[in-house]
Amino acid sequence: MAQPRKIRVFDTTLRDGEQTPGVALTKEKKLEIAYALQELGLDAIEAGFPINSLIEEETVKQIAKELDITVCGLARALTQDIDACIAADVDMIHTFISTSPQHLKYQMNKTEDEVYEMAVKAVEYVVDHGIPCMFSPMDATRTPMPYLLRVCKGVEAAGAKIINVPDTVGVMYPEKMRKFVSEIRKEIKIDLDVHCHNDFGLASANTLAAVEAGVNQVQVTVNGLGERAGNADLEQVAMALKLLYGMETNIKTERIYPTSKLVERLTTVRLMPNYPIVGDNAFAHESGIHVHAVLKRAETFEPFPPELVGAKRRLVLGKHIGVHGIDAKLKELGITVDPEQLKEITAKVKNLGGKGKKIVEEDLAAIAEDVAGMMPKKERKVELIDLVLNSRLNEKPSASVILKVNGVNGAEKRSTQEGVGPVDAALNAIKNALGGEKITLEEYHLDAITGGSDALAEVMITLRRGEDTTLARGVHEDVVMASVIAFINGINRIMK
């Protein structure tokens, strides 16, 4: 059986990735990322641009010294840049010069012949120092093919080991990329590499197209970092090569998610939640239909198991969740409820989600405990039918309640009372509606379950009726409602 084709993965997070606007990595951070990239299984990494500064040269040098994989330094096609890479003791030098008419005219003010000379001389200089050389004709994809091939053949003859094809301003699309790289592949014998920018969101697709056309190496960055819209994304390219193309790389896929998180933390560039493979929502399910199916068989709505990239599946609690999702989540939290309670918890979660509240596990646990702690509907003596609050600046707040008191022909009781605050007013109104009942509030505790102004409030109270005391709790996104729920729960228990 034929072996799957093997593709080398070259990471430039520490070079092009560091050129992401606003990103600057210290030596320590670069080292931490470099080790993570080595552990992830990269074949080679570009550790930096040594001519940039002495500290950059030292950083690249230390990474090259400490890592076992190929560590590359970037150099313009200039002796002083190459010397800085040599001083950094790198395992490979990546030298580049622009070849497109736009760059020749407006950036360098040089002729094609002058650029050709510089490219060949730079490669010869690296090779003369006994260091493997990768050459990039920058802006290759906007360079006319005859001139591009002339430069590529010149540097191949000069001893370059790899030619990289950069889509510097991300103007390719897959079909065009396939044709473009195929033309180079026909003429060039040494290894080809590709470096795509994401200006049209096609960097990963173009990289894969270049692989189809015969490149042996792909340049990527973690989280797609890089100049402007970034580079081809390591996670997407590695997973597509493995699962969609059936090709081999040395990437240990289960290290993908932790590495992405590390880079996110150290660069402080946050990923969009819907970012493929490593975004917060990549393996999150909320809709009841999806959750139900995924719980039965994950492949229904997942292209591959999250564990394959070291991530975890998330069931999101929101307005689209159904009983199956809540049931699974409760089981995960070790909470057992009966079917009636499960329905009630689901209704509460959907209701909160519908109001735009982000419900996390702690909220669910509190809602479940609250519902499970409530008496079954048919055993409840008192139920809240309505509550109206009136609270104005410089005026005492008042509350009007309507209660249904079971057992007294299902009678409705109404009352309006004032209080020192809205909670006090609401509880006074409930007490008053119940008339002769001598129930006193002995203790009251209020907690926010999670942070934020939309946090769920949890109220714990102790009630006394004669010799009896009871504990009760209430959970709601509104403090007054949490207090009222706790109070009515307590009344139901103590009047049993």
**96 binds ligand KIV, rule: CB under 6 A:** yes
- Output 154 or 258, the one with its CB closest to ligand KIV: 154
* DSSP per-residue codes, 222-272: GGG-SSTT-B-BHHHHHHIIIIIS--B-S--GGGHHHHHHHHHHHH--PPP
What amino acid is encoded at 285 in this protein? H
| Beta-carbon count within 10 A of 164 CB | 22
- Output 144 or 354, the one with its CB closest to ligand KIV: 144
d(CA 447, CA 185): 66
User: Site for ligand KIV (CB under 6 A): how many residues?
Assistant: 9
d(CA 288, CA 113): 65
Give 385's contacts (C-beta < 8 A, 6+ positions apart): 402, 403, 404, 412
- Output 94 or 357, the one with its CB closest to Zn ion: 94
> Could you give the angle at the alpha carbon of 253 between the alpha carbons of 278 and 49, nearest 5°?
80
Q: Rounded to a whole number, what is the largest CA-CA distance in the chain?
A: 103
- Output 137 or 325, the one with its CB closest to ligand KIV: 137
Nearest residue by C-beta to ligand KIV?
A: 166
d(CA 197, CA 228): 8
Q: Least separation, in Å, of the C-beta of 197 and Zn ion?
A: 6
- Output 170 or 325, the one with its CB closest to ligand KIV: 170
Give 349's contacts (C-beta < 8 A, 6+ positions apart): 317, 318, 321, 326, 359, 364, 367
User: Site for Zn ion (CB under 5 A): how many residues?
Assistant: 1
d(CA 208, CA 194): 9
Using the contact rule CB under 6 A, the part of the chain among 161-169, 336-344, 345-353, 404-412 near ligand KIV is 161-169
**136 binds ligand KIV, rule: CB under 6 A:** yes
- Output 166 or 318, the one with its CB closest to ligand KIV: 166
3-state DSSP percent of the chain in helix, strand and coil, to 5: 45, 20, 35
Using the contact rule CB under 5 A, the part of the chain among 16-24, 206-214, 260-268, 349-357 near Zn ion is 16-24
**152 binds ligand KIV, rule: CB under 6 A:** no
Q: Least separation, in Å, of the C-beta of 331 and Zn ion?
A: 48
**16 binds Zn ion, rule: CB under 5 A:** yes
**235 binds ligand KIV, rule: CB under 6 A:** no
> Which of the choices Zn ion, ligand KIV, none does residue 275 contact, using the CB cut-off of 5 to 8 A by kind?
none
d(CA 273, CA 487): 40
> Which of the choices Zn ion, ligand KIV, none does residue 96 contact, using the CB cut-off of 5 to 8 A by kind?
ligand KIV
Using the contact rule CB under 6 A, the part of the chain among 53-61, 65-73, 164-172, 175-183 near ligand KIV is 164-172
Which SS3 state, helix, strand or coil, does residue 6 take? strand
- Output 164 or 483, the one with its CB closest to ligand KIV: 164
> Which of the choices ligand KIV, Zn ion, none does residue 125 contact, using the CB cut-off of 5 to 8 A by kind?
none
Q: Which of 47, 138, 457, 461 binds ligand KIV (CB under 6 A)?
A: 138
- Output 160 or 456, the one with its CB closest to ligand KIV: 160
Using the contact rule CB under 6 A, the part of the chain among 58-66, 162-170, 390-398, 457-465 near ligand KIV is 162-170
Q: Which of 48, 73, 166, 224 binds ligand KIV (CB under 6 A)?
A: 166
244, two tokens? 């969609």
Q: Least separation, in Å, of the C-beta of 336 and Zn ion?
A: 55
Q: Least separation, in Å, of the C-beta of 170 and ligand KIV?
A: 9
Q: Least separation, in Å, of the C-beta of 168 and ligand KIV?
A: 4
Q: How far is CA 308 from the centre of its chain?
A: 16
- The contacts found for 406-410 with CB under 8 angstroms, 24 or more apart, are 406/380, 406/381, 406/382, 407/381
The residues in 271-300 that bind ligand KIV, with binding defined as CB under 6 A, are: none
**168 binds ligand KIV, rule: CB under 6 A:** yes
Nearest residue by C-beta to Zn ion?
A: 16
Using the contact rule CB under 6 A, the part of the chain among 160-168, 275-283, 408-416, 417-425 near ligand KIV is 160-168
Phi and psi angles of residue 246, each rounded to the nearest 5 degrees, phi first? 65, 30
> Which of the choices Zn ion, ligand KIV, none does residue 138 contact, using the CB cut-off of 5 to 8 A by kind?
ligand KIV
d(CA 429, CA 434): 9
**489 binds ligand KIV, rule: CB under 6 A:** no
Contact 448, 421 (CB under 8 A): no
The residues in 181-210 that bind ligand KIV, with binding defined as CB under 6 A, are: 195, 197
Q: Least separation, in Å, of the C-beta of 195 and ligand KIV?
A: 5
Look at phi and psi of residue 237 and say left if phi exceeds 0, alpha if psi is from -120 to 50, else beta.
alpha
Contact 211, 4 (CB under 8 A): no
d(CA 85, CA 423): 70
- Output 230 or 474, the one with its CB closest to ligand KIV: 230
Which SS3 state, helix, strand or coil, does residue 462 take? strand
The residues in 339-398 that bind ligand KIV, with binding defined as CB under 6 A, are: none
Which residues of this protein are in contact with Zn ion, per CB under 5 A? 16
Which residues of this protein are in contact with ligand KIV, per CB under 6 A? 16, 96, 136, 138, 164, 166, 168, 195, 197
